[in-house]
Amino acid sequence: MQAETPPAVRAPRPRITAQSVPRLPRHVKLHHDKTRDRWVILVPERVLLPDDTAVAVLQRVDGARRVCDIVDDLARVYNADPALILKDSIALLQDLADKAFLLAATEPPDA
Amino acid sequence: MPEDRPHDGDDFQLVTRTGDLERTQYGIPLAVLAELTHRCPLQCPYCSNPLELEAASGELTTAEWLHVIDELAEIGVLQIHFSGGEPTVRKDLVALVARATEVGLYSNLITSAVMLTRDKLAALADAGLNHVQISFQGAEPVVADRVGGFRNGHAKKLAAARWTRELDLPLTINAVMHRQNLHQLPDIIDMAVALDADRLEVANVQYYGWALKNRQALMPTVAQLEQTTRLVTAAQQRLNAVLVIDYVIPDYYASRPKQCMGGWGRQFFNISPAGKVLPCHAAETITGLSFESVRDHSLDWIWNHSAAFNRYRGTDWMPEPCLSCAHKEEDFGGCRCQAFALTGDAGNTDPACALSPMHGRIFALAETESGADRNAFLYRNFSGGLPETD
């Protein structure tokens, strides 16, 4: 049995911050399931069921907006505490990133 | 390839982002396994295709599969797993993937990869394929090509895995493990990382059909299994956020049976090459059940009315000790195919359960077989199997 850690060729999963610009990779689809009338996330060999908060966040993930922009928008639309939304959003996005279901840049793409 | 499917429902459960399971009470499944063909260049001795394989002449036509794909999307299936046999044997695979994309089905290709070229894979990616799963039989060619019964297969798989990532498709490595390749698991884990796979399935062989015929050559020892579990657990921690590792243990050595397919007829179905709709890919190993075909009925009708689906649905069919068991809604009495294979009656408690009166005898048998030095395989083929020669 080998104990050595193999070289990780894959880029480390992104660390999500308020300044991150998240986007969904091509193999992750936020999809409205008409039959069951609910939003789902389609990923390889899994169907994830996002709660309402996750759906609201992911509908705003477009590869252009920063996490903080998304949070500002949500705070306005839902008239809620931005600090709380930021905390929840980062936790959600980090969870998806750790599973390779989310990509993120540190800067917004040039317009 | 079906021999690579872990025989459980993990892949097809509804999972929230925190990992909780939400049950659908016999609503249309979210995923379907479409076995396009039983033809396959590999001859793995644990193949989960039935012993009586479907000839090419019995397979659904392209038009029939296209109709099935349309129907799947209409009734609410979200994912389609193109499998076999070897699905790339079908010349119409690109057209089928394209149709799945067109109707909004998320598509997975479950392949041995030995017939892929970079151009074929690129055509599938262009058709909208969402994910590729490649089986590996070992960590290097000597063991891997012997298990698969296919020369140069391992090298071809490595090439196909690299093309998959070059084309920016997500990659799952499926490694079916048994006594004769478990020693290579550390190298298989390293290989999965080096190939930039997203996910590794470490699936111990499940014993029915071809695998049951080869059980004495495949059954791991208790010591091997304990070491494997330690190894996988350590790798899962070490590779957190690098590689997802799913682990299926052989339930001969468990005290509780697996929750097979999320329960018979509850959340999964399979379409055979000839169009038969099955509650699991191994269900045809159970003789005496007859399965309906997409050639005769709609999928919706079959899901709701097929006598074979309703036979072991819910818990009313259960004998004791299942019927009064506190765990009956957790494991649904285990695996029907295993119960049939080991007891002759698919309605019995799965002997993998410690509460089955046959559990002790079967465990002892498995342990005896694992210690015997009988390693020759009976390879899968269309004529009852090919004994391995030196």
- For chain A, the structural domain boundaries read 21-105
CA distance B371 to B139: 23
Residue B201 has pLDDT above 90, yes or no: yes
User: Can you give the pLDDT at residue A99?
Assistant: 82
The single-letter DSSP state of residue B13 is S
**Mean pLDDT on B63-78:** 97
Percent of chain B residues past pLDDT 70, beyond the cut? 93
Could you read off the pLDDT of B109-138 as tens digits, one per residue? 999 999 999 999 999 999 999 999 999 999
CB atoms within 10 A of CB A36: 16
Are the beta carbons of A35 and B28 separated by less than 8 Å? Answer: yes
Q: Do residue B241 and residue A33 have CB atoms under 8 angstroms apart?
A: no
What's the CA gap between B353 and B363, in Å, rounded? 10
**What is the reported pLDDT for A98?**
82
- If you average pLDDT over every residue of chain A, what do you get? 86
Of B15, B194, B241, the CB nearest to A6: B194
Q: Which of B252-261, B314-323, B341-350, B353-362 has the lowest mean pLDDT?
A: B252-261
- Is the pLDDT confidence value at B11 over 60? no
pLDDT tens, residue by residue, B30-45: 999 999 999 999 999 9
**Nearest Cα residue in chain B from A14:** B241
What are the pLDDT digits (tens) for B50-67? 888 999 999 999 999 999
* pLDDT mean over B257-281: 90
User: By C-alpha distance, which of B112, B67, B75 is closest to B92?
Assistant: B67
Q: How confident is the model at residue B325 (pLDDT cuts 50, 70, 90)?
A: very high
pLDDT at B343 over 50: yes
pTM: 0.88
Summarised one tens digit per residue, pLDDT across range B248-260 is 877 777 788 887 8
Q: Is the pLDDT of residue B197 over 60?
A: yes
Region B85-90: mean pLDDT is: 97
Structure tokens at B89: 């044997």
When mean pLDDT is compared across B15-19, B182-186, B299-303, B364-368, the lowest value belongs to: B15-19
At A105, the pLDDT band (50, 70, 90 cuts) reads confident
Q: Counting Cβ atoms within 10 Å, is residue B86 exposed (0-12), middle (13-18) or buried (19+)?
A: buried
- Neighboring chain B residues of A36 at a CB cutoff of 8 Å: 27, 76
Residues of chain B neighbouring A48 (CB-CB closer than 8 A): 15-17
Exposure class string for A71-80: b at 16+ Cβ within 10 A, else e: beebbeeeee
Helices (H), A10-100: 52-58, 67-78, 82-98
Instruction: Decide if B17 and A48 are in contact by the 8 Å CB cutoff.
Output: yes
Residues of B in CB contact (< 8 Å) with A are 11-17, 22, 27-28, 30-31, 75-76, 78-79, 81, 104, 106, 108, 130-131, 133, 168-170, 172, 186-187, 189-190, 193-194, 196, 198-199, 227, 231, 238-244
The pair of three-digit structure tokens given for residue B374, joined into one six-digit string:
């009988």
CA distance B198 to A25: 13
Q: Greater confidence, A8 or B118? A: B118
| Residue B153 binned pLDDT confidence (cut-offs 50, 70, 90) | very high
State the nearest Cα–Cα gap between A28 and chain B, in angstroms.
8
- How large is the angle between the packed helices B118-126 and B153-166, nearest 10 degrees? 40
The radius of gyration of chain B from alpha carbons, rounded to an integer in Å, stands at: 20
A108: closest CA of chain B, how far (Å) = 22
Nearest CA to B199 out of B255, B243, B164, B257 is that of B243
Q: Does A54 touch chain B (CB under 8 A)?
A: yes
Residue B211 has pLDDT above 90, yes or no: yes
B296 versus B363: the higher-pLDDT residue is B296
Question: CB B78 to CB A47 under 8 A?
Answer: yes
Helix (H) or strand (E) holding B200: strand B199-204
CB contact under 8 A, A45 and B196: no
Model pLDDT, residue A11:
60
Q: Which of A8-12, A45-49, B193-197, B361-365 has the lowest mean pLDDT?
A: A8-12
A11–B contact, CB cutoff 8 A: no
**Cβ contacts (< 8 Å) between A49 and chain B: which residues?**
14-17, 22
What CATH homologous superfamily does A21-105 map to?
Coenzyme PQQ synthesis protein D (PqqD) (1.10.10.1150)
- Residue contact B131–A27, C-beta within 8 A: yes
Q: At residue A107, does pLDDT exceed 80?
A: no
pLDDT of residue B9: 35
Dihedral of CA atoms B257, B259, B264, B268 in degrees, nearest 10, equals -150
Mean pLDDT value across chain B: 90
**pLDDT at A1 (0 to 100):** 40
The ipTM assigned to this model is 0.79
A chain contacts of residue B227, beta-carbon cutoff 8 Å: 1
Enter the tokens of residue B78: 């979200």
The verdict on a CB contact (< 8 Å) between A45 and B133 is yes
pLDDT in the model for residue A110: 54
pLDDT higher at B99 or B222: B99
- What whole-number distance in Å separates Cα of residue B343 and Cα of residue B352? 11
At A58-97, the pLDDT tens digits run: 999 999 999 999 999 999 999 999 999 999 999 999 999 9
pLDDT of residue B367: 87
Say what the pLDDT of residue A108 is: 57
Could A48 and B79 be called an inter-chain contact, meaning their C-beta atoms sit closer than 8 Å? no
Q: Do A5 and B238 touch (CB under 8 A)?
A: yes
DSSP E strand stretches across B145-287 = 171-177, 199-204, 244-248, 269-271, 277-278
DSSP designation for B387? E
Q: Give the pLDDT confidence score for residue B120 in this predicted structure.
A: 98
